[in-house]
Amino acid sequence: MQTLLVPVDFTVHTARAVNYAIQIAQRSGATITILSADHRQPETDDNLLHLLQVADDLAHHHFTGIIQKIHPTETLTQIKARYHYIPSVETAAIVEEVKKHHFDLLVVSAKKRAIFSELSAGNFIRDFFRHLFFGNMLETLISTPLPCPLLIVPENCRYANINTIMYATNLEPNDYTMQKLQRFTNAIDAFINFVHVMTEETRSYNNRLAHFCTKADDLFGAANYAIAELNHHDVDAALSKYLQTNTQTNMVAMVERTNKARLDSWMLNSITRQMAYKAPVPVMILHDTADEL
């Protein structure tokens, strides 16, 4: 965990994403790259405090104020950071930056934009179909097989230290996603709660559980994780209730399948997407693809 990318527009929402990036950088020693289309901001490669001071000079006081309420000056001075300008912070540009510079984590804020206010500002027919099939930027990032994990900070998320991570699993994890989760937890020294929602009994359940525990022992160590089994017919409802009752959970990690039908990816809201907007904690998306290694 050496490099973090955080796209910002210098609003309160993106400041919340920066706050979590700071925490991760402080605990892992990573460098933060602030990505923005603000052409007034000069390219800088220094510490985060200096970058924020430049932002203050450009009247982004609301942005830096949110950050400085949580992180003291001494912390910001120690965080290595750089500013990078691109003409337009769009999904394709963000993905290109991640691939080009091999970032280890992409941190974004979640604020579902009003579709009609967007459509009224551009080509209605073109943008209508873009929203209908592709959704907004966040939803497109979720469905895109990014070459690194995606950390989403929901709009109503309260800031907290990431000590316990809930990982929703069907006990048949992809080796690659488990390895990526292990890299992150090792970098910040976090505990994992694996949560499995049992919607029906299967004869192979015990074998799957034993295989899963063996793999988890190898990657995380038996003392660094626990497994919770929930009996419920609705996976979404079970996970939401678990989050509400387990206040010690500071982050959710979920796998987004990238090999599902394209139409399903466009038209349906997955559990992952619902969590990205509604969860009271940050949500990490681990794309089920070997390309992230």
Contact 13, 66 (CB under 8 A): no
Angle at 199 between CA 255 and CA 183, to 5 degrees: 25
- The share of the chain scoring above pLDDT 70, in percent, equals 81
Q: What pLDDT, on the 0 to 100 scale, is given for residue 174?
A: 62
Q: Which residue has the higher pLDDT, 108 or 231?
A: 108
Composition of the chain by helix, strand, coil, percent to 5: 45, 20, 30
Q: What pLDDT, on the 0 to 100 scale, is given for residue 110?
A: 84
Contact 19, 2 (CB under 8 A): no
**How far is the C-alpha of 30 from the C-alpha of 48, rounded, in Å?**
12
Residue ranges of alpha helices (H) inside 114-270 are 115-119, 124-134, 137-143, 175-188, 205-220, 235-245, 262-267
**How far is the C-alpha of 251 from the C-alpha of 280, rounded, in Å?**
9
Nearest-CA neighbor of 5 among 112, 88, 74, 81?
81
Q: What pLDDT, on the 0 to 100 scale, is given for residue 263?
A: 42
pLDDT, tens only, 7-51: 998 888 899 999 999 999 999 999 999 998 877 676 777 889 888
Average pLDDT, the chain: 80
Most confident of 65-79, 131-145, 159-173: 65-79
**How far is the C-alpha of 253 from the C-alpha of 164, rounded, in Å?**
11
Structure tokens at 194: 């694996």
Q: What pLDDT, on the 0 to 100 scale, is given for residue 120?
A: 40
- Distance linking the first and last C-alpha atoms of the chain: 13
Please name each of the domains of the chain with its CATH number.
3-153 (3.40.50.620), 156-292 (3.40.50.620)
Pairing of strands 191-198, 164-168: parallel
Query: Is the entire prediction scored with pTM above 0.75?
Result: yes
Q: What pLDDT, on the 0 to 100 scale, is given for residue 210?
A: 85
pLDDT, tens only, 140-196: 788 788 889 999 998 888 899 999 999 988 887 666 788 889 999 999 999 999 998
Q: Which residue has the higher pLDDT, 83 or 43?
A: 83
